[in-house]
Amino acid sequence: MTVTESVKVNNADKTIQQDEQIVIATDKKEIDVNNTTTETTGKTPATENVATKTNAELGPSTTTATATTNQNDMQIKTGEVYLIKRADGNVYPAQIIQSRPGEPATGNSTSTPAEYYVHYVGLNRRLDEWVSRDRITDTTDAETASEAANSADSTDGNGGKTIKQLSKEQIANLENPLPMENSDRKLTRNQKRRHDEINHVQKTYAEMDPTTAALEKEHEAITKVKYIDKLRIGRFEIDTWYFSPYPEEYGKVGTLYVCEYCLKYMRFQKTYRYHASECTQRQPPGNEIYRKGTISIFEIDGKEHKLYCQILCLMAKLFLDHKTLYYDVEPFYFYVLCEIDKRGAHIVGYFSKEKESPENNVACILILPPYQRKGYGKLLIAFSYELSRREGVVGSPEKPLSDLGRLSYRSYWAYTLLEFMKECRTTTQSIKELSELSGITQEDIIYTLQSMKMVKYWKGQHVICVTPKTVMEHLQLPQFKKPKLTVDPVYLRWVPPKRNPTGNAKFKKVA
């Protein structure tokens, strides 16, 4: 028999207790999320630990079985650093953050082993994961791992050895050692910055200013453990990256089920299937303002469609580390990108934009992992700048950007600026003129051109120093190739908002 499941989320009682000062604002109203049917399902089968047997039973394999048993009996301590074997077979030093007990076998399910939540030292927190006991090395290797972790924390950032190099040298006797680069070659500051951006190397607290370091420590403490391992949405099952403050009964499930049309979330597969058969929504709410081929973009007012936007933000937090907007969605517009087919509009990603912030054209941007590296990120970035140009303003995303966001934006800026400079009949255009043409702020233009060595500081100001030949040579490089997807302004049915004396924006309806 099924049981009706009704969830009411009170931010003051449940979610905001976890977020405290990191959350920008809280919504004091309750949210009716799901009225769906649920049924308890069995646990996912997992491999059981090797049972201890007598020597007579084991015969020649006694030594192997005993070693395995001894390893499993070793006590794992929270806060200690051990060597962990990742899914790719490589071994990394990682800190044990938390543990959870296994489940005993029941009538229709096998037992599940205890698991440990680990953070790989020096790597981005999106790689944190729950691991079983058999992926953790013994005490001797743990001591080596601690030395590696301490050495990593003390590197000066000027070409010192990385975690991977230390692991290679200190655990060379392991079966799957890590690849090592030439540690003798010193990196310049710019080379290190580019290396860190490409490889997603996380900054240490010592590299941050005191205020940022304090906020980062507080944020890390609140969002340290990621309980939701997988997100099931549409035809995809996605590994999550970060903690998200879902209500407690939903926030600690292994797999969260989400309707790809209305975004309602559920704990059980049975509920999900029932909801999918009953849900009549086939596209996001709001107005469709762009449609070209199978690509569609919807504009959603956070005030008019509050629940949808709040749930969208909760889902986005599973893939964004420093996202702080969850419930105060009324001051924002959301632009949701979808792929269209005969079944409906399938969400690909979105960006949000603050209504009363003309200097920032993007507050948050996300492409879901299954759709990444297909050109959708740059398409949304280009779309945000097209809106800014229609408004007659220059725009920039809110800072700081994530590592992936920084790479995407700099790539878009570089290609766009090169294209504008190629079309210019004169080589004497100023940074201000280039900003007005492209909609990109002067600060972002300077940052981008400096990375390409196309700007110099002369007589108290930055000056573009480039020839048409240099521009064409850059455009022929693979990193500056034309984006896979581009915005065609002809298909954009949108006009800039008209603001009343109180400062509220109201969009004219377009036929």
Q: Which residues are catalytic?
A: 398
Helix, strand or coil for residue 56? helix
* Other CB atoms within 10 A of residue 473 CB: 11
Instruction: Specify whether the CB–CB gap between 347 and 368 falls below 8 A.
Output: yes
Q: How many CB atoms lie within 10 A of CB 3?
A: 9
Output DSSP code: residue 228: -
- Tell me, what amino acid is at 344? G
If you write DSSP's letter for every residue of 249-307 in order, what string do you get? HHHT-SEEEE-TTT--EES-HHHHHHHHHH----S-SSEEEEEETTEEEEEEETTTTHH
Contact status, residue 318 vs residue 244, Cβ threshold 8 Å: yes
Neighbouring residues of 121: CB distance < 8 A, sequence distance ≥ 6: 81, 92, 93, 94, 95, 148, 149, 152, 153, 163
Residue 482: count of CB within 10 angstroms of its CB: 9
Region for residue 189 given its phi and psi (left: phi exceeds 0; alpha: psi -120 to 50; beta: otherwise): alpha
Residue 340 CA: distances (Å) to CA of 114, 284, 337, 441, 485: 43, 12, 10, 33, 15
Vertex 127, ends 123 and 132: CA angle to 5°? 115
For residue 438, the 8-state DSSP code is H
Give me the residues paired with residue 93 across strands. Answer: 83
Q: Residue 446, Cβ neighbours under 10 Å: how many? A: 17
Distance CA 250, CA 268 (A): 10
Alpha carbons within 13 angstroms on the beta-carbon side of residue 57 total 6
| Separation of alpha carbons 402 and 408, rounded Å | 10
- Phi, psi of 264, rounded to the nearest 5 degrees: -65, 140
Q: Which amino acid type is present at position 23?
A: V
Q: Are strands 295-301 and 287-292 parallel, antiparallel or unpaired?
A: antiparallel
Residue 129 backbone phi and psi in degrees, to 5? -160, 165
Is residue 268 within 8 Å of residue 259, measured between CB atoms?
no
